[in-house]
A and B are shown apart, each in its own frame.
Chain A
């Protein structure tokens, strides 16, 4: 009972998030980049519900615009990771032998690294900025998908329907795309949902270290880092974006859990 309630809560939060990401310019009470230097570091009030930062920018507006960046980074990074990872996994799993060995050793070597460290190095290589952070995060998340996909393909390709397709004369690409891929998807869809949260968390970490989305663009991680200096006088500058991150990541995780149980009860606890 509780879990169903939590999933619904998660869906509502995600709905609000998507809504505020799309409608940010209309929803935000102020321009998130508008510096009012006579209204710096204001406490929460009726005009500024969450106060203002050191440059007089409205915190609530920046959080709403930050939702846009977080969601975009998360989704794009996941698309990259899922596409590349699934392609590697499909090929490695289908053509066993030396192709499999090469692909999987490559994935193993990528897996040696904590995700945030790998994203950090790649982002630095590409030079930071919104677009490059998405690519960096995407590459850093590839190994998980490749691994899972490879395992799935290895089991699915032994099924009789694949043998039937082959005996009817289907080529490799037809078998892979039409007969194997669709049967491998459910656990991957679950992994994608569960990893949106991880992607958003890692992006926040990168922004916090100063390598993510570049200022003045609003990013939750950067806001936390900026707010640190005013911790004693204006703790809301740090706490508000952190709570936003938590709410969003929690919601995506819960919806992912719910989706897992709905799609395939056998998977419970394996991901």
Chain B
């Protein structure tokens, strides 16, 4: 097991290098020039060519791309993600300020998706063809079709503008004002989780339907086990593997969704930062963000793969 984890970690490092290199090249092939965007947006409208070159040199943009990349990589190894071209602040500082907000919302959304999605799917599978099944299946099918940003706006219209139950938008830290923070989080978290709740429900349902047809389930019924035991001990545990895979992917979906949701609810998280950075071609910020997301996704995948072995002892890694 340990060798497997080590091998996977080494592989992950390679993937990280490919990913960051791809993004690095991509960003540098962008037609615009971040320095020019930076100057025209600031008050430095009358900068001379000389000063532009100095700035370019300052950010290291005048050197060959590969050298810039290696430099950046060496910096990252020392915990230095470079300096944002637009804000002129260390990228890491900005990321550390915003990352917890995005992750907090995403993690809550993931937990909620699991808590609601898995039981909903199990209930559907067990009560197949009954009205509960029909209702939940319709809701789940609707859930994977709703554009989340639109749902967010509609929720704002209904619950904030018309009914006045919830604040329109914004973000407050949990530690600053707990009540307000929770109120502000309800709608964004709901929007972030609706897609994964629905897809987890669908997957759980079909996975459980498959398992409940197996012979060992019939045996369990035949030897007179209670319904709860049959489902919890024999059913769910065997049906979990595809669901765990989906859970890993859901985190990536949720983080992707936060790009839209943070815009709708005006939340100062990571995604807002990166959307703006993409528009003004702030290389270091996009690079740092991509690296962090890639690390998180790779770690999630690793955890998912390790949990297979725990869920199904027949799966062995060596």
Other-chain contact of A113, B141, B279, B281, B297 (Cβ < 8 Å) = B297
Instruction: Check A269/B147 contact, CB under 8 A, given A117-B293, A124-B279, A231-B161.
Output: no
Other-chain contact of B23, A115, A121, A254 (Cβ < 8 Å) = A121
Cβ-closest chain A residue relative to B281: A124
Q: How far is the CA of A270 from the CA of B263 in the complex (A)?
A: 33
Q: Which of B25-33, B69-77, B307-315 participates in binding chain A?
A: B25-33
Other-chain contact of B260, A105, A116, A232, A246 (Cβ < 8 Å) = A116
Contact across chains for B259 and A117 when beta carbons are under 8 A apart: yes
Interface string of A232-271 (1 = CB under 8 A from B): 1001001101100110011001100000000000001110
Give the interface size class of chain A.
Answer: 35 or more
| Interface check A205, CB cutoff 8 A | yes
Contact across chains for B142 and A250 when beta carbons are under 8 A apart: yes
Chain B residues with CB under 8 A of A125: 26-27, 29-30
Chain A residues with CB under 8 A of B148: 205
Q: How far is the CA of A239 from the CA of B150 in the complex (A)?
A: 8
Q: For the complex, would chain B's binding face be called helix, strand, loop or mixed by DSSP majority?
A: helix
Contact across chains for A231 and B294 when beta carbons are under 8 A apart: no
| Interface check B255, CB cutoff 8 A | yes
| Interface check B157, CB cutoff 8 A | yes
Other-chain contact of A122, B26, B141, B207, B256 (Cβ < 8 Å) = B26
Chain A residues with CB under 8 A of B210: 269
| Interface check A16, CB cutoff 8 A | no
| Interface check A32, CB cutoff 8 A | no
Q: How far is the CA of A238 from the CA of B242 in the complex (A)?
A: 37
Contact across chains for B147 and A124 when beta carbons are under 8 A apart: no
Q: How far is the CA of A106 from the CA of B297 in the complex (A)?
A: 15
Q: How far is the CA of A124 from the CA of B30 in the complex (A)?
A: 8
Instruction: Check A254/B147 contact, CB under 8 A, given A113-B293, A121-B286, A242-B154.
Output: no
Q: How far is the CA of A158 from the CA of B256 in the complex (A)?
A: 38
| Interface check B156, CB cutoff 8 A | yes
Instruction: Check A245/B150 contact, CB under 8 A, given A106-B18, A121-B278.
Output: yes
Contact across chains for A246 and B157 when beta carbons are under 8 A apart: no
Chain A residues with CB under 8 A of B294: 109, 112-113
Contact across chains for A205 and B278 when beta carbons are under 8 A apart: no
A-B contact pairs, 25 of them (CB 8 A): A105-B11, A105-B14, A105-B15, A106-B18, A109-B19, A111-B297, A112-B15, A112-B252, A112-B293, A113-B252, A114-B252, A117-B255, A117-B293, A121-B27, A125-B27, A201-B147, A205-B149, A209-B259, A211-B278, A232-B161, A239-B154, A241-B150, A245-B150, A246-B146, A250-B145
A-to-B contact residues, CB < 8 Å: 2, 105-106, 108-109, 111-117, 120-122, 124-125, 127, 197, 201, 204-205, 208-209, 211, 221, 224, 228, 231-232, 235, 238-239, 241-242, 245-246, 249-250, 253-254, 268-270
12 other contacts beyond A109-B22, A117-B293, A246-B147, with CB at 8 A cut-off?
A: A116-B257, A117-B256, A120-B259, A120-B275, A121-B290, A211-B279, A232-B157, A242-B147, A246-B146, A250-B142, A250-B145, A269-B205
B-to-A contact residues, CB < 8 Å: 11, 14-15, 18-19, 22-23, 26-27, 29-31, 134, 141-142, 144-151, 153-154, 156-157, 161, 203, 205-207, 209-210, 242, 252-253, 255-257, 259-260, 263, 274-275, 278-279, 281, 286, 290, 293-294, 297-298
